[in-house]
Amino acid sequence: MSADSSPESSIAVEVKKVTKIFPNGDTPTYALREVSFQAQNGKLTMIVGPSGCGKTTLLSVICGTLGVDSGDIEVFGNNLKMMSDAEITHFRCLNVGFIFQQFNLIPTLTIVENASIPLILQGMPYRKAEEKAAALLEDLGLGKRIRSFPRQLSGGQQQRVAIARALVHDPKLVICDEPTASLDAATGHHALELLKNSACNADRCVIVVTHDSRIFSFADWIAEMEDGRVIKSCLPADYHHG
C-alpha cells in the first residue's frame, strides 16, 4: 500500500494476505480473502464498505480475538501467530482499546465501573481508576449519569460509555467498530474529535470502521473493503463514495 511513507510515519498494524473462512455448514463464507492492510502510528485509519464485506472480521483478527486461516498479522512489530492465547490477551489488555459494534457494556455494573475496567485490569487501585473514568465520562457529557446502569441510558449514551472505556487507559491502539452509529451529528463529531486527538500522538494508532460518511473527513487514510477484500486505499480527499 502507498500510505504516507514520510520518514516519521511508522507502521502500527500490518495485515499480510489474511484469509478467514467461517465454515457455515456446506457453504463456507470467505469473510477475508487474502486481505492486506496497514495502519500507521499517529494516524486515524478508516475502514469502509458495505454490510457483510468483512470489516468487523478484520478488526477481530487484528485484535487477536479471532484466529485466521492463513496470512500474518503484526501489531507493533509482534506477529500474533508467534504468540500464545495468554500472551495475546495480556498484550490486548495493555495496548488495545475497543469500541464494539454492540457496545458490550456489562449490565450489572454502573457506567463509571464499566469505563474503569481497563484500568482495573491493569492493576490500578479501584478509586483512582473510577476518578479517571469519571473525568472522561464528564468530558463526554455523562458526568451526571456515572452511577446509572447501561440499561438506563439511550443507545447514544451507551456508545459514549463504550468510547470512554476504549480510551481510559490511553492505549497505543484504539479499534472502533461503528463508533457513531447511534450518535446524533454533534455528539458523533465530539466522539471523533476525541478519537482524532488520540491519533495525534506519534505512538498511537486509531482504526475506525464506519458507514457514516459524515465522519470520513476525520480520517487520515481510508481503506475500502468489498466482498472480503481491500479494494481501495487512499487519502480521504481521493475517496469518492457512491
Residues that bind ligand ATP (CB under 6 A): 22, 24, 29, 31, 51-57, 101
- 84 residue type, one letter: S
Closer residue to ligand ATP, CB minimum distance, 22 or 76? 22
Binds 169: which of ligand ATP, Mg ion, none (CB < 5-8 Å by kind): none
Closer residue to ligand ATP, CB minimum distance, 38 or 56? 56
Length in residues, the chain: 242
CA angle 170, 13, 113 (to 5 degrees): 30
CB of 145: closest distance to ligand ATP in angstroms?
28
CB of 179: closest distance to ligand ATP in angstroms?
13
CA torsion, ordered 110, 112, 114, 117, to nearest 10 deg: -140
Tell me the residue number closest to Mg ion, measured at CB: 56
Which of 6-14, 17-25, 54-62, 130-138 is the region at the interface with Mg ion (rule: CB under 5 A)?
A: 54-62
**How many residues bind Mg ion, per CB under 5 A?**
1
In sequence order, the 6+-apart residues with CB closer than 8 A to the CB of 159 are: 99, 103, 179, 180, 181, 182, 183, 191
CB of 186: closest distance to ligand ATP in angstroms?
24
Q: How many CB atoms lie within 10 A of CB 107?
A: 8
- Residue 57 as a binder of Mg ion (CB under 5 A): the answer is no
CB of 49: closest distance to ligand ATP in angstroms?
6
Residue 138 has which C-alpha cell?
Answer: 464528564
SS3 128: helix
Closer residue to ligand ATP, CB minimum distance, 31 or 168? 31
Closer residue to ligand ATP, CB minimum distance, 56 or 157? 56
Phi-psi region of 14 (alpha: psi -120 to 50; beta: other; left: phi over 0): beta
Binds 31: which of Mg ion, ligand ATP, none (CB < 5-8 Å by kind): ligand ATP
Phi-psi region of 125 (alpha: psi -120 to 50; beta: other; left: phi over 0): beta
SS3 141: coil
Binds 19: which of Mg ion, ligand ATP, none (CB < 5-8 Å by kind): none
CB-based contact 43:233 (threshold 8 Å): no
- 187 residue type, one letter: T
CB of 92: closest distance to ligand ATP in angstroms?
19
Closer residue to Mg ion, CB minimum distance, 56 or 116? 56
- Residue 56 as a binder of Mg ion (CB under 5 A): the answer is yes
CA distance 135 to 115: 10
Residues that bind Mg ion (CB under 5 A): 56
